[in-house]
Amino acid sequence: MVSRITIILFQVFLSLNLHPAKAQAWIKAGYWYSGSDLPVSDINSTLYTHLICAFADLNSSSYHLSIPSSNDRFFSAFTNTVKQKNPSITTLLSIGGGLAKYSTLSAMAGNSTHRKSFIDDSIKTARHYGFQGLDFSWVSANTSDNMDNMGTLFEEWRAAIAMETRNSSLSELILTAAVQYSPRLDSGSFPIDSIRRNLNWIHVLAFDYYMPTWANFTAAFAALYDPDSDVNTDFGIAAWINGGLPASKLVLGLPFYGYAWKLANPNENSIGAPATGPAVTEDGDMSYKDINNYFKTNGAVGPIYNSTYVVDYFIVRSAWISFDGVDVVRIKVSYAKEKALLGYVVWEVSYDDNWGKTKRPSSAICH
Ligand SMILES: *[C@@H]1O[C@H](CO)[C@@H](O)[C@H](O)[C@H]1NC(C)=O
Ligand SMILES: *[C@@H]1O[C@H](CO)[C@@H](O)[C@H](O)[C@H]1NC(C)=O
Ligand SMILES: *[C@@H]1O[C@H](CO)[C@@H](O)[C@H](O)[C@H]1NC(C)=O
Ligand SMILES: *[C@@H]1O[C@H](CO)[C@@H](O)[C@H](O)[C@H]1NC(C)=O
Ligand SMILES: *[C@@H]1O[C@H](CO)[C@@H](O)[C@H](O)[C@H]1NC(C)=O
Ligand SMILES: *[C@@H]1O[C@H](CO)[C@@H](O)[C@H](O)[C@H]1NC(C)=O
Ligand SMILES: *[C@@H]1O[C@H](CO)[C@@H](O)[C@H](O)[C@H]1NC(C)=O
């Protein structure tokens, strides 16, 4: 009996020791992109628990972070600025992004000397600018070597962060990554085991499944479900979880934008209708704010909500515009809660619409 209790106590002690960090509360995160027209001071940071400043780039010879001098003052003021409205907000610096060079990221991740330069400088930079965490956004990683190297990078990065914490009086930096909707690529798979052990969580970029620049049919570009294809959010989230990543490490990406297709024939305007490329803008991409304005000023037909895919769309002459309206955002946030995910992350905070005085921004209704 005594030994039984001893064993149980020992096990309790072990489990306490192995999980010293308290559970992370529901995350309401947003990316702020330095290329947007929204001043950091205009972000309503009370809507978020985490704000992510995007992006720092990589120097292709030193593998240190590089922040263009035009952005330097915004990045260095970011944390203090967003804490003015919400002192308990947590800030992260995101590295990489869609415009970062594949060859530089790939060379960095593939060489231990370069990884060390990168890791050490990233920690120094985060501290220097006052960020509380780092987010790694290598969206172009596309080979199994890239993925293996990314796993090694996360391993070494976490070790360096833990070491830095032991040596300083500061709290440990958060480490996250932005990843594709599914861990499986044509070639290779995200390093789920390393992610589980070394990252606090991942931001699942659950959108851009179809774009008018290459899909010659209208489509739900961020479909929650799709009865005819694996390219949908529910499939991707299940693949991450079945691959071994706990749901509590997944933060669901919500697009605050949409896409406009040009219909081949305005009378054929359902999801999957023939299309001939982008409409309204060069690539067809439109912020939620611009979509609302376009809807209001152009005598649109719709919006139509399609529950098979969970998407909204409307039609203006030959333009077919799909987006996540307030109803869709609500459903996706409920989905994230039902699946016991860790929260949601918005791309991008400046795309939101404050709807004037009578209606609240869509992010405000994300619970
Ligand atoms: C990259 O780093 C090298 C070596 O430290 C430096 O000479 C160069 O100016 C840097 N390039 C940029 C674009 O910052
Ligand atoms: C890694 O980079 C260093 C410094 O440029 C170089 O000396 C070394 O040969 C590289 N290692 C590999 C395995 O390519
Ligand atoms: C991976 O992406 C890079 C950059 O887009 C491209 O140059 C390269 O050919 C791709 N590799 C594979 C195997 O698809
Ligand atoms: C932390 O301290 C250890 C030993 O005290 C030292 O070896 C190591 O270089 C230090 N690391 C950092 C990142 O300062
Ligand atoms: C769309 O593209 C596919 C693949 O390139 C092609 O087979 C199909 O005929 C195209 N459809 C239309 C309506 O242009
Ligand atoms: C959603 O759109 C597809 C394609 O047009 C259609 O087959 C399906 O019936 C729609 N779902 C609902 C619930 O209307
Ligand atoms: C910021 O968001 C909060 C929470 O929804 C809201 O109460 C407040 O009015 C908003 N502030 C501004 C300036 O929009």
Structure tokens at 177: 């990554």
Quote the CA–CA distance of 87 and 79 in Å, as a whole number. 10
CA of 113 to the centre of ligand 2 (A): 7
Residue 358 to residues 109, 159, 295, 299, 346, Cα–Cα distance (Å): 49, 50, 17, 21, 23
pLDDT in tens, 231-241: 999 999 999 99
For the chain, the farthest-separated pair of C-alpha atoms sits apart, in whole angstroms, at 79
Residues 98 and 178: beta-carbon distance below 8 Å: no
Structure tokens at 281: 């803008």
19, pLDDT greater than 50: no
Report the pLDDT averaged over residues 51-66: 98
Question: Which residue puts its alpha carbon closest to atom 12 of ligand 1?
Answer: 59
pLDDT in tens, 307-344: 999 999 999 999 999 999 999 999 999 999 999 999 99
Question: Which residue puts its alpha carbon closest to atom 4 of ligand 3?
Answer: 102
Tell the burial category of 282 from Cβ atoms under 10 Å away from its Cβ (0-12, 13-18, 19+): exposed
Region of residue 245 (left: phi > 0; alpha: psi -120 to 50; beta: else): beta
What CATH number corresponds to the domain at position 173?
3.20.20.80
For strands 319-323 and 311-316, give the pairing: antiparallel
Ligand 6 pocket, residue 268 CB under 6 Å: no
pLDDT (0 to 100) of residue 23: 75
Quote the CA–CA distance of 35 and 68 in Å, as a whole number. 11
Question: Which residue puts its alpha carbon closest to atom 10 of ligand 3?
Answer: 142
Pocket test for ligand 5, best of 211, 216, 217, 265 (most atoms within 8 A of CB): 216
Looking up tokens 């649109």, which residue turns up? 300
> What are the φ/ψ torsions at residue 50 (nearest 5 degrees)?
-135, 135
Ligand 5 pocket, residue 272 CB under 6 Å: no
Helix (H, G, I), strand (E, B) or coil at 325: coil
Query: Is residue 168 included in any domain, yes or no?
Result: yes
pLDDT (0 to 100) of residue 363: 56
Query: Is residue 302 included in any domain, yes or no?
Result: no
Looking up tokens 């918005």, which residue turns up? 346
CA of 67 to the centre of ligand 1 (A): 11
Band of pLDDT at residue 15, cut at 50, 70 and 90:
very low
CA of 275 to the centre of ligand 5 (A): 10
1, pLDDT greater than 90: no
Report the pLDDT averaged over residues 69-78: 94
CA of 216 to the centre of ligand 6 (A): 18
Question: To the nearest 5 percent, what fractions of the chain are helix, strand and coil?
Answer: 40, 25, 40
Query: Is residue 94 included in any domain, yes or no?
Result: yes
Ligand 4 pocket, residue 163 CB under 6 Å: yes
Residues with Cβ within 8 Å of 184's Cβ and at least 6 positions away in sequence, in order, are 239, 243
- Per the structure, the complete domain to which residue 36 belongs is given by 20-256+326-364
Residues 112 and 103: beta-carbon distance below 8 Å: no
Angle between helices 144-167 and 112-129 (to 10 degrees): 50
Quote the CA–CA distance of 96 and 337 in Å, as a whole number. 29
Query: Is residue 274 included in any domain, yes or no?
Result: no
Which residues on neighbouring strands pair with residue 253, listed in sequence order?
A: 345
DSSP 72: H
Looking up tokens 């976490």, which residue turns up? 158
pLDDT in tens, 237-294: 999 999 999 999 999 999 999 999 999 999 999 999 999 999 999 999 999 999 999 9
pLDDT in tens, 196-238: 999 999 999 999 999 999 999 999 999 999 999 999 999 999 9
> What are the φ/ψ torsions at residue 205 (nearest 5 degrees)?
-80, 85
Tell the burial category of 310 from Cβ atoms under 10 Å away from its Cβ (0-12, 13-18, 19+): buried
Query: Is residue 301 included in any domain, yes or no?
Result: no
Question: Which residue puts its alpha carbon closest to atom 1 of ligand 3?
Answer: 142
For strands 50-58 and 65-66, give the pairing: antiparallel
Question: Which residue puts its alpha carbon closest to atom 14 of ligand 3?
Answer: 142
Band of pLDDT at residue 186, cut at 50, 70 and 90:
confident
Helix (H, G, I), strand (E, B) or coil at 286: strand
Report the pLDDT averaged over residues 158-168: 95
pLDDT in tens, 97-154: 999 999 999 999 999 999 999 999 999 999 999 999 999 999 999 999 999 999 999 9
Structure tokens at 348: 């991008």
Query: Is residue 4 included in any domain, yes or no?
Result: no
Question: Which residue puts its alpha carbon closest to atom 8 of ligand 5?
Answer: 216
Split into its structural domains, the chain has a count of 1
CA of 366, nearest ligand number? 7
pLDDT (0 to 100) of residue 194: 98
> Measured from the CA of 276, which atom of ligand 5 is nearest?
14
pLDDT (0 to 100) of residue 356: 47
CA of 223, nearest ligand number? 6
Smallest CA-to-CA distance from 242 within 182, 171, 315, 159 is with 182
Query: Is residue 270 included in any domain, yes or no?
Result: no
Query: Is residue 139 included in any domain, yes or no?
Result: yes
Q: Which residues of 214-227 are buried (b: 16+ CB within 10 A; e: fewer)?
A: ebeebbbbbbbbbe
Q: Which residues of 77-116 are buried (b: 16+ CB within 10 A; e: fewer)?
A: ebbebbbeebeebbbbbbbbbeebeeebbbbbbbeeebbe
Quote the CA–CA distance of 330 and 326 in Å, as a whole number. 6
